[in-house]
A and B are shown apart, each in its own frame.
Chain A
Amino acid sequence: KQEVTQIPAALSVPEGENLVLNCSFTDSAIYNLQWFRQDPGKGLTSLLLIQSSQREQTSGRLNASLDKSSGRSTLYIAASQPGDSATYLCAVSRTSGTYKYIFGTGTRLKVLA
């Protein structure tokens, strides 16, 4: 059974810092991994999608890496801004059975001005 864990659960950093959010999963047989952002009271916004054959994806100040064999992904945020404050969720899809995403517990990020 796939389990997805995100560490830390919460993080508070001063503006301008580079930071890393971690996601680990127990079953390495995945199709892909997707990082989402959720603002309070809002829906989920897709940030990056990494296919199982890829090592990383970049979008602006965001870089997501995937090490499938060790069951890990990291989301790197460069030069953090107060507008980055949100909950970040990773989700993995499996290759067996019906295609669906299993979500992690999320990291609540606060960037202080």
Chain B
Amino acid sequence: DTAVSQTPKYLVTQMGNDKSIKCEQNLGHDTMYWYKQDSKKFLKIMFSYNNKELIINETVPNRFSPKSPDKAHLNLHINSLELGDSAVYFCASGQGAGYGYTFGSGTRLTVV
């Protein structure tokens, strides 16, 4: 039973399209995160939601919009995709300050 699940696992799309990535966690955690891993494998935080409330919004183009319908879900919608958006996007969840993260298996986005 997967703790943090992301869909899709792979996503190939053309420039200019709009796409969404979904994330669900069944751990009962209050906080969820989106991280981006670039081609050099560096992981950088994008967003964080705590109980459906946005608490972290790093310097990310406003083409990226997270949505959290409930505390178990955090989806990422990307408008007008660009070549530079190609990366692996990871969802994670945690119980808050002082606790570790549990990561999903990632979504490899390729923009052509």
Q: Do A and B bind each other?
A: yes
A residues in contact (CB < 8 Å) with B: 31-32, 34, 36, 38, 41-46, 49, 51, 87, 89, 91, 93, 98-103, 105-106
**Are the CB atoms of B105 and A49 closer together than 8 Å?**
no
Secondary structure type dominating chain A contacts: strand
Within 8 Å by CB of A32, from B48, B98, B103, lies B98
Q: A45-B103, A89-B43, A103-B44 are in contact. List 16 more A-B contacts (CB 8 A).
A: A31-B97, A32-B98, A42-B105, A43-B90, A43-B105, A44-B90, A93-B97, A93-B98, A99-B96, A100-B56, A101-B45, A103-B35, A103-B42, A105-B41, A105-B42, A106-B42
Q: Are A49 and B33 in contact (CB under 8 A)?
A: no
Q: Is the CB of A101 within 8 A of B97?
A: no
Chain B contact residue count (CB 8 A cutoff):
27
* Given A103-B42, A103-B43: A98 in contact with B48 (beta carbons within 8 A): yes
* Chain A residues positioned under 8 Å from B31 (CB to CB): 99
Closest to A36 in B: B103
User: How long is the Cα–Cα vector from A38 to B35 in the complex, in angstroms?
Assistant: 14
Distance, CA A110 to CA B75, complexed state (A) = 35
Chain A positions within 8 Å of B92 at CB level: 44
Cα distance, A41 to B31, chains bound together (Å): 25
Question: How many Å lie between the Cα of A101 and that of B46 in the bound state?
Answer: 11
